[in-house]
């Protein structure tokens, strides 16, 4: 079967590459992927695969096996781009100023469409159902929840997703059990004080001093609250305060993030951030506003699914090219929302060509690009995981 799939995918390689380049030329930001969704739905309609829109720009298609019965598997690709200039000078460089598919989502979308075409051809051999999810707004952690809250996973038995990865050489496939990507919580803190002349600081309540103290005290969470063997990041990226050198600021704002690898640690650390901020503000006799946006849960692969994905990978590439001990990353992916409610796995597909520097830039870099041979492997991975799972 794997040889047949490889032949089928190679037959449509040019189509997949063409789709990837189309999406790369026409990137759209999170929750505004209108033309991207339109193109996806045009391709699905041409394949005769029924679909519906989720939210305003998400798409879910359903491919029923003709043998009836069986389980249901969900394959997911994310579709949004980044607010980043495209610094490449190539025929398929972005035509939308200030937007760039610098994370590989164009490749995810193209390969899942390619997989849909192959799976449709094998529908008469399938027992079960395949749901194809083209998910919006991964970059802001707002898309996956629309599918979960919409009930689209209620009848699903297994979920599978992949991510192109420029840190891995093309030809490699990675599947690691357990936590693979961190949670992402974004918090905002506003400190309200009282203005005064800096020559009379006792008359005011210094919001800037309070905010500075909060930044320092938050470092104690990683240093003294969390087990040293449990990786956690509490980072502050924004601090705004003051209007003039001789005025005690009456407002200070902080923005930061918490990254963790377990649901329990995540809850504890976020609660601790709020508690520390509130206590410091109270000690300084200032007022505090705290809000947190839960962008993504920790992405935790189910052990059986990860092992199964590794076995599938060995049907596609040599055993030496299958990575099962990939390092965890403190980046986040909201596919975690799917994994929080259903068993499944989030895998990686290498895209870096050692002989081509253009394919070695990190994700979210303005010159990010891929070796397009990886698209063939990604398409095979989608197809074979689904077929092998439903045949179990």
Q: Which residues contact 264 (CB under 8 A, 6 or more apart)?
A: none
2-40 as b/e, with b when 16 or more CB fall inside 10 Å?
eeebbebbeebeeebbebbbebbbbbbbbbbbeebbebb
Q: Is 124 a catalytic residue?
A: no
According to DSSP, the residues that pair with 293 across neighbouring strands are: 186
Q: Tokens for 297?
A: 């849960």
Catalytic residue, chosen from 138, 139, 185, 371, is: 138
Tell me how many helices (H) and strands (E) the chain has: 10, 16
Return the structure tokens found at 311.
Answer: 């076995």
Contacts of residue 60, Cβ cutoff 8 Å, sequence gap at least 6: 51, 52, 54, 131, 132, 133, 134, 147, 152
Say which residue the tokens 């939210």 belong to: 55
Exposed e or buried b per residue across 238-275, where buried means at least 16 C-beta atoms within 10 angstroms of its C-beta: ebebeeeeeebbbbbebebbbbbbbeebbebbbebbee
Gap between the Cα atoms of 368 and 373, Å rounded = 16
User: Helix 2-11 and helix 13-25: axis angle, to 10°?
Assistant: 60
Beta bridge partners of 243: none
Active site residue 138: yes
CA distances from 8 to 160, 241, 242, 266 (A): 21, 59, 63, 44
Rg (CA), the chain: 23
Two tokens, residue 46:
């041409």
Structure tokens at 142: 């707002």
Q: Catalytic one among 8, 80, 369, 372? A: 80
- Residues acting as catalytic residues: 80, 138
């Amino acid at each position: 079967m794997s040889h047949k799939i490889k032949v089928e995918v190679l037959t449509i390689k040019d189509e997949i590459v063409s789709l990837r380049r189309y999406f790369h030329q026409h990137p759209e930001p999170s929750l505004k992927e209108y033309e991207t969704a339109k193109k996806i739905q045009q391709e699905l309609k041409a394949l005769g695969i029924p679909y519906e829109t989720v939210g305003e720009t998400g798409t879910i298609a359903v491919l029923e096996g003709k043998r009836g019965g069986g389980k249901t598997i969900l394959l997911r690709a994310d579709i949004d781009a980044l607010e980043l200039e495209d610094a490449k000078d190539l025929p398929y460089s972005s035509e939308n100023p200030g937007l760039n598919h610098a994370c590989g989502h164009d490749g995810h979308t193209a390969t899942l469409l390619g997989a849909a075409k192959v799976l449709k051809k094998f529908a008469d051999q399938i027992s079960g159902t395949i749901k194809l999810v083209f998910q919006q707004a991964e970059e802001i952690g707002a898309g996956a929840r629309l599918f979960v809250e919409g009930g689209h996973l209620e009848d699903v038995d297994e979920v599978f997703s992949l991510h192109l990865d420029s840190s891995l050489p093309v030809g490699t496939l990675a599947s690691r059990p357990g936590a693979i990507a961190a949670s992402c919580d974004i918090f905002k803190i506003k400190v309200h004080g009282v203005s005064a002349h800096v020559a009379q600081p006792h008359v005011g309540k210094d919001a800037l001093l309070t905010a500075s103290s909060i930044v320092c005290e938050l470092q104690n969470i990683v240093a003294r609250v969390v087990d040293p063997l449990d990786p956690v990041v509490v980072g502050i990226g924004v601090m705004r305060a003051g209007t003039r050198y001789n005025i005690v600021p009456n407002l200070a704002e902080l923005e930061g993030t918490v990254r963790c690898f377990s649901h329990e640690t995540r809850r504890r650390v976020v609660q601790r951030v709020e508690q520390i901020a509130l206590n410091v503000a109270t000690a300084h006799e200032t007022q505090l506003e705290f809000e947190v946006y839960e962008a993504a849960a920790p992405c935790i692969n189910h052990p059986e699914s990860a092992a199964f994905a590794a076995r599938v990978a060995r049907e596609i590439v040599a055993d030496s090219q299958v990575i099962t001990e990939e390092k965890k990353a403190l980046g986040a992916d909201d596919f975690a929302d799917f994994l929080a409610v259903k068993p499944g796995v989030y895998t990686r597909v290498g895209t870096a060509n050692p002989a081509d520097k253009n394919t070695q830039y990190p994700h979210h870099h303005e010159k990010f690009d891929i070796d397009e041979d990886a698209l063939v492997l990604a398409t095979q991975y989608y197809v074979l995981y689904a077929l092998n799972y439903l045949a179990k």
